[in-house]
Structure 1
Amino acid sequence: MHTPLARIVIVDDSDSVLRYLTHLVTKFFGEGAAIAFSDPLAALPWCLVNEVDLIVVDNVMPGLSGLQMIEKLRQQGCNTEVPIVMVTTCDTKDVRYTALQVGATDFLQKPVDRIEFMTRLNNLLQLGRHIREAREHAAHLADEVRKATRSILEREREAILALSCAAEFRDNETGSHLVRMATSCRIIGLNLGLGEDDIELLFGAAPMHDVGKIGIPDHVLLKPGKLTEEEREIMMTHAQIGWEILSKGKSRLMQMGADIALCHHERWDGTGYPNGLAGTDIPLPARICAVADVFDALISRRPYKEPWPVDDALAFLIENSGTHFDPACVDAFMKDVELVLHILGKFTPDEELAGFRVLR
């Protein structure tokens, strides 16, 4: 079966004009190229659900004028790259200006000249093809850029995770803490309505929260008992150390990681460290990480403490919402707490948590 060179819709309530234009299109572009409608109310829905290369529409028609049809086509989703030619007996500037405003591409005046008609249509079809090819090429390039960017981000995240694990290893922790904490951050971010890109950045940056511990002496970091005031002051410097390590990076991932490292021990009421920030002055990623990190720390075994029961840890988050934690972040955590517990259980040995409820 012969495939037409183009699909051209012709809409005109005059049978003689419709037959004439259909004949011209068929002769030049082949059988099946012309899709003819004498009723604009039938043509409109057909054009909205079918792929066409060009539309030729009369202006003065019963039920729906050419201007109205063009406006509805553009408003209801007809691709702006599809050329629309309006055929009219009126050559006033007002009609042309209005047609352009509603989305017409070109004009033809009745009686339609055969040579002019075919030349205009051919030029518009070629222009439409060039635009589509350029758009497809741009989309292909954009897809290649996304793939390359994703590959770079994955390598960056691998390096960051290795660095973060090095800090956690010194603290007698395993990489499972990083995965649990980052996963909780992702769920909180999702329930806060963050965009997909920001959630993925948060998931990649969250494991860097304690990277500054790599600079804390062993006698402080690994001390099994309560820290002295002097030792506590040393421990608190890990936030600044983490920021100094990460802030040198120029990527969004590293910059978010630097903010989290510096601010995840700030408190909503301004009593945290290192800078005593309060409320929304604390970067949102750090506020999210504060909830996820404290919860995971409470339910995990540490050299200086036994793990808390899950219900006690949840109660702690709720009791400290609005003082230690951003209330919105606590609410976002609690909204899907069963999902959080289910996912965290996949990365945690049973004996590591007390009273951990893995939901089936």
Structure 2
Amino acid sequence: MLIDPHLYESKILVCDDSSSHATMLQGLLRSEGVRRVEVVTDSRRVLPTISGHGDFALLVLDLDMPHLDGFEVLELLRSELGEHEHIPVIVITGVAGEDACLRALKMGANDFIRKPFDHTEVVLRVRNTLRMHDMVVRQREVNRDLERQVRMRTDDLERATDTFVHKLGQICEMCDKGAGEHIRRVGRFAGMLARLADLPAQTAHLVEQAAPLHDVGKVMLPVELLLKPSALTNQEFEQVKQHADAGSELLDGPDSPLVRMASEIAASHHERWDGSGYPNGLRGEEIPIEGRITAICDVFDTLISARPYKDPWSVQNAIDYLIEQSGRQFDPRLVELFVSALAQIEEIRDSVDRPGIGAGA
């Protein structure tokens, strides 16, 4: 026998309008040990047969048939079946069918056999095509297994990153007792604004997770400076401004979309739309959008929160300030989106513990 033992169970569909030719091929293949050979003599039955029984490993297809010729069947297979569901095809043609063979091969056929059938040639071509199909199927299985492993590894890394980010947030809260509620609200506000700005869902989710780390660089500052009950001096303010670069550097390194975004936010959330911000004096859309989003949310929540040096503002007064600074401190489009969502803003404010005490810069 010329057919490999592990291919004995391959399921083959033969389509030839000549029942004698179809039966001949069926008998020839069965004599070589291929047990599952089905025959259709109406080409219109090929696609329904394959679609209804998705485990065919090969189609042996005559080109010269009524109703639908072999080329039309090939076209249907290509258009109706997805790439992964497509099965290999060997076409049958007459002795003078060189042009037909080339056309069929260009349309996706894998091989051809000629009439009258040569027993050995038919078996060898079928065997080789089945071998190739078997290798493709096995490779797909390997790829699927690798994809599963990658997904599992990615999930593990994401969980570890989430834990890392959460712990950093806890450190921020320990350094500034009022920061806990502030950073949680900033994250919620930022996620809301990212979605209003039509960022992709995954990006908006990352913004919501990363924004709470906007001031992580403040862990490098003296606690007495963070809790100072009066306005900062110019020298103290210059010292506080260093937290943007410090936070970005602290978060720099891990190959994680979340940590990379948190680093960008830490570095850019004090940049201003008019270019007068810090640390790099970026202007307009030079500022990453996640930084522009977080800037609005950070300032808004700072305004409505109690601080050692000020009483909390009303939501309306804070909204008025954002509008006043639109085009100067903040991205005008993002301000417009933010202030249009007053109901969501108040819901987020009320769903997180009331603002505490802490320094904002």
Per the shorter chain, which TM-score range? 0.7 to 0.9
| 1:110-153 deviation per Cα after TM superposition (whole angstroms, max 9, x unaligned) | 22334433333233223322322222122212221222232233
Work out the CA distance in 2 between the residues paired with 1:334 and 1:111.
Answer: 80
For the Cα contact (< 8 Å) 2:272–2:282, is it kept in 1?
yes
Amino acid at match of 1:16: S
Structure 2 equivalent of residue 66 of structure 1: 70
1:18-29 counterparts in 2 under 5 A? 18-25=22-29, 28-29=33-34
For the Cα contact (< 8 Å) 2:172–2:179, is it kept in 1?
no
Structure 2 equivalent of residue 234 of structure 1: 239
Give the counterpart of 1:14 among 18, 28, 39: 18
1:68-87 counterparts in 2 under 5 A? 68-80=72-84, 82-87=87-92
For the Cα contact (< 8 Å) 1:270–1:279, is it kept in 2?
yes
Amino acid at match of 1:47: I
1:28-177 counterparts in 2 under 5 A? 28-30=33-35, 33-48=36-51, 50-51=53-54, 52-80=56-84, 82-89=87-94, 93-177=98-182
Alpha-carbon distance, 1:97 to partner: 3.4
The structure-2 alpha-carbon separation of the partners of 1:124 and 1:260, relative to structure 1 and needing over 3 Å to count, comes to same
SS of equivalent to 2:109: coil
| 1:207-239 deviation per Cα after TM superposition (whole angstroms, max 9, x unaligned) | 321011112233432123333333332222211
Q: TM (normalized to structure 2)? A: 0.80
The structure-2 alpha-carbon separation of the partners of 1:310 and 1:115, relative to structure 1 and needing over 3 Å to count, comes to farther
Bigger relative contact order, structure 1 or 2, given CA contacts below 8 A and separation 6+?
A: 2
Structure 2, gaps ≥5 residues long = 1-7, 357-361
1:247-266 counterparts in 2 under 5 A? 247-249=252-254, 251-266=256-271
Q: TM (normalized to structure 1)? A: 0.80
Deviates more, 1:45-54 or 1:278-287: 45-54
Structure 1, gaps ≥5 residues long = 354-360
The answer to whether the aligner puts 1:218 opposite 2:214 as a matched pair is: no
Amino acid at match of 1:182: G
Identity of aligned residues (%): 35
The structure-2 alpha-carbon separation of the partners of 1:344 and 1:89, relative to structure 1 and needing over 3 Å to count, comes to farther
For the Cα contact (< 8 Å) 2:93–2:100, is it kept in 1?
no
Work out the CA distance in 1 between the residues paired with 2:210 and 2:327.
Answer: 24
For the Cα contact (< 8 Å) 2:305–2:355, is it kept in 1?
yes
Work out the CA distance in 1 between the residues paired with 2:332 and 2:49.
Answer: 52
